[in-house]
Amino acid sequence: MNELLKKSATEQSKALRSKEISAVELTTAAFERINELDEKLGTFNSLTKETALETARKVDEKIARNEELPLLAGVPLALKDNMNLAGSRTTASSKILENFVSPYNATITEKLLNNLVPIVGKANLDEFAMGSSNENSAFRKVYNPWDLKRVPGGSSGGSAASVASCEATLALGSDTGGSIRLPASFCGIVGMKPTYGKVSRYGLIAFASSLDQIGPFARTVEDAANLLEVISGHDPKDSTSLNLPVERYSEHLSNDIHGLKIGVIKELMTEGLSEDVAKAVERAIDDYKKLGAQIVEISLPNIKHSIGIYYILATAECSSNLARFDGVKYGYRTPNAQSLMEMYTKTRAEGFGPEVKRRIMLGTYALSSGYYDAYYKKAQQMRALVTQDFIEAFKKVDILLSPTCPNTAFKMGEKADDPLAMYLTDIATISANLAGIPGLSVPCGFDRDGMPIGLQLLAPQLHESKLFNAAHKFERANDYYLQLAKI
């Protein structure tokens, strides 16, 4: 492998600016790495080589003219395949969109292209971002670069695996209930879900619109902070987009955290936690004490209801959002229909996979006449209580800490026949989406099998700088981020 591919985005940027390597050479090296590994990993649904090399050439032209480069220019990035890139296939890993070619760019894609970030391809995911293991793709499974018998986490498994395996230096994922943080934890990298509304969702294929948020994957906290800066900002095309100035997160990374109050979430440190994960998190807490942070125990009494709330609200929104895939406007249409109703029914039966169908049915039931008040309305009321728990907690502490997941990456197929066991892997991550707060997973050790463990940090809305600062200090106090998957 080209040694430069192992470097962080910050280090690659320096190498480009010093003319140690060209952007075309770096991007070409990324494609060589993808060609070497993709059959084993299943990371990409499609590659966008022409677009990436065209962007890389623009970077080299700027360097030749000694012009200032935008942030992260020339650094190879993988885009989750539920985000639109004009002229490329955008499938959401579903048969129903298998041959859909996007006619327009998502807002985040425009921002990447304007910053001259080469997009190397569209990363595989659980179909329509529904899953925790990346076994639900209609095309092929994604495998964990640390152990090819294990899952990479979902739904953004392809994005996380591409960064962990050095096929790409950066990636974007979407997080509805942990779909960035969980794969980051399983793959030993940094993954971050920003405050709801911080990043435009225009051009993201919707799953659950009140929960979805786009965020960065990287091998270092600094790279994740810089990528969030590139994709953040107000967008009039997204009514939920926050009209706030874009922050320079990297300026706050080295702030002293002496006296920072960190709350350990009591409910996420008890039953169900694997011994190795518990030990790694305890070590992380000790590291924060050495860095001068104050550690206190915090209770979030309603967090235990998060899974139930989430699987009513998310499935209800999924049922509504996925109604547009009917075989009429675009996407797959069954060739064997004698009437309009038969065409709708067969198209959706043939086009959607089992997990997507399961969630559509759950959501349709929750929204149906006679059950709306009993399920959907109650879930919204409980969501308010979960959010209030966080508001009260942040009056006492600056950030919250927990494991990202109670366990490390499990074996392929281990939970495939037990949807409830699969849903429980998101127990620590879902509440942040319900409350709309930012959350980050940073590597904090390895289990007895050498699989990565993630530490989750949560902050109040719009306090991403505080989150990056605390994560960066922890990261640099250890060497976990320097250890790469030996694939």
Catalytic positions: 80, 155, 179
Amino acid letter, 406: P
For every residue of 386-415, DSSP letters joined together read HHHHHHHHTTT-SEEEEESSSS-PPBTTSS
What is the rounded CA–CA span in Å between residue 191 and residue 185? 8
Vertex 226: Cα angle to 484 and 487 (nearest 5): 15
| Of 428, 104, 35, 42, the residue nearest 269 (C-alpha) | 428
| Of 141, 123, 139, 19, the residue nearest 76 (C-alpha) | 123
Tell me the Cα Rg of the chain: 21
402 bridge partner residues: 456
CB 150 within 8 A of CB 177: no
Q: Which two tokens stand for residue 106?
A: 């998502």
What is the rounded CA–CA span in Å between residue 175 and residue 191? 10
Q: Which two tokens stand for residue 122?
A: 């569209």
What is the rounded CA–CA span in Å between residue 205 and residue 183? 19
